[in-house]
Structure 1
């Protein structure tokens, strides 16, 4: 009986992990499919999410599922994974004593310095020149390195395909000159799509308004983190209270090299040591897929 390409890749996991060690210096293997082709003009496109305007209706979740043919049910999930590329998470308002909740839309951030790409042993995870970070399902061996490495706990295995999947920044719609499905579906303007510089102007204007309204800890998140995210947020309070790391670090350098060598030796992924690669300073960081990113005790 023949062996499928994906099965072969999975059986070759340790060899692939060894390739990661040398790949740290040489980068991702050359691309051969249209998936790797950058779309002109998309490099400057950004999503702007204004948390203060989100009503938690999950229209973005439904639109994402329909656009990408993801499995039902068409309702909000507590966290993102291979079957749910978008999720709206709810956080208690720490700065306002009104018993309310902040609703925070989460999806792949398409980091300029993506940890998922850095730890992928096969080159399945890659970043295009237009800034879109993708996972090639034909190359993915479902080792889940990227699941562990993501500082925002975004990617996960799709139960049907058996490989890791996540938001693709609606690359098909980008090719047609359309906005992302989530931005098009948002009824309140909480999710906006457009040119980065224009959206940053809007974000700063809104930031000024929030400051005047008493949100003293309001901030813009994503403009500088990990080299700049393709998704920027207007947060009304502390990022740590809304599922974000304040100073995320990409999983690269000597620490990752040592981890990769350990992977080759042990033949298994140990989440704890790798998590320290992109933790904040010396703090222990714990990823809870339902609650987002939270600091350890």
Structure 2
């Protein structure tokens, strides 16, 4: 099970952020107005499990695109052929990706992080010891520690609601169905059809992100339809499970240790024979 987030129909209402906080009793996170954007939550963190990004761009005014909101004040020159650019907002609700190959699971020493029966990744805060190993292991920078106790927190995909047969709170609250919950295979088919539809409408930049089971993390349990490059949304273009080289590293370390032990055994054997000859 997982999420498909269609950013082309996101209106930036932040209902998903509010629903996530209310259902999971997440502390208030400051709501700092930066003066640079209406995006006052700024990014995912221990106290923000759903984050709606407001990405402001200067783009040539062209055919109206779904999910792209334009500032009409700059449109008159472009309409008359003056070549002016128009301010547009790309809005996207971000969340933990629930990777198929999750590096956070690989490095957790206590078993606090575990894979649920729904295929999602959840943190058990009563087992987390605050070591923080999972924080740099996440290729998306999602996992974060709370400053008061050091434990890590992130989206659980509303594990308690799933167990009761309910959809996650954010998907339930989304008024445009930008956030869709269901079996990943069905969501991927639906997402591919949506991209084809947007391409037919002339939205050539529409693309999927995190949907491919053959990518560097084995596909994401939460994937996205984007209207620009992943970097524009603050997403890595080619995420890779950060622990992919661990088996080879352990093998190399084992071989090195065996070679060292063999060398020491040879030295002691030679030294013993020399001492006996004396």
Secondary structure at the residue paired with 1:116?
Answer: helix
Cα 1:189–1:71 shift into 2, 3 Å:
same
- 1:222 corresponds, among 210, 213, 219, to 210
Deviation string, structure 1 residues 62-109 (Cα, Å, up to 9, x no partner) = 000011011126965111111111111222347655311211211111
**Residue 146 of structure 2: aligned partner:** 158
- Structure 2: stretches of 5+ with no match in the other structure: 32-39, 61-84, 251-278
Q: With structure 2 as the length reference, what TM-score do the two structures score?
A: 0.70
**Residue 180 of structure 2: aligned partner:** 192
- 2:43 corresponds, among 55, 66, 79, to 79
Q: Which structure: larger Rg?
A: 2
C-alpha distance in structure 1 between counterparts of 2:57 and 2:192, whole Å: 22
Contact 1:218 1:238 in 2 (8 A): no
Cα 1:92–1:170 shift into 2, 3 Å:
same
Trace 1:216-255 onto structure 2 (pairs within 5 A): 216-224=204-212, 225=215, 226-254=217-245
Trace 1:1-297 onto structure 2 (pairs within 5 A): 45-72=1-28, 77-93=41-57, 97-224=85-212, 225=215, 226-254=217-245
C-alpha distance in structure 1 between counterparts of 2:218 and 2:245, whole Å: 19
Deviation at 1:161, TM superposition (A): 4.8
Deviation at 1:145, TM superposition (A): 2.0
Cα 1:150–1:209 shift into 2, 3 Å:
same
Cα 1:211–1:108 shift into 2, 3 Å:
same
Kindly tell me the number of residue pairs found equivalent between the two proteins: 217
Secondary structure at the residue paired with 1:207?
Answer: helix
Q: With structure 1 as the length reference, what TM-score do the two structures score?
A: 0.66
Deviation string, structure 1 residues 111-165 (Cα, Å, up to 9, x no partner) = 0001111222333222234311012223322222222121221111134553101
Deviation string, structure 1 residues 27-76 (Cα, Å, up to 9, x no partner) = xxxxxxxxxxxxxxxxxx22110111111111000000011011126965
Secondary structure at the residue paired with 2:175?
Answer: coil
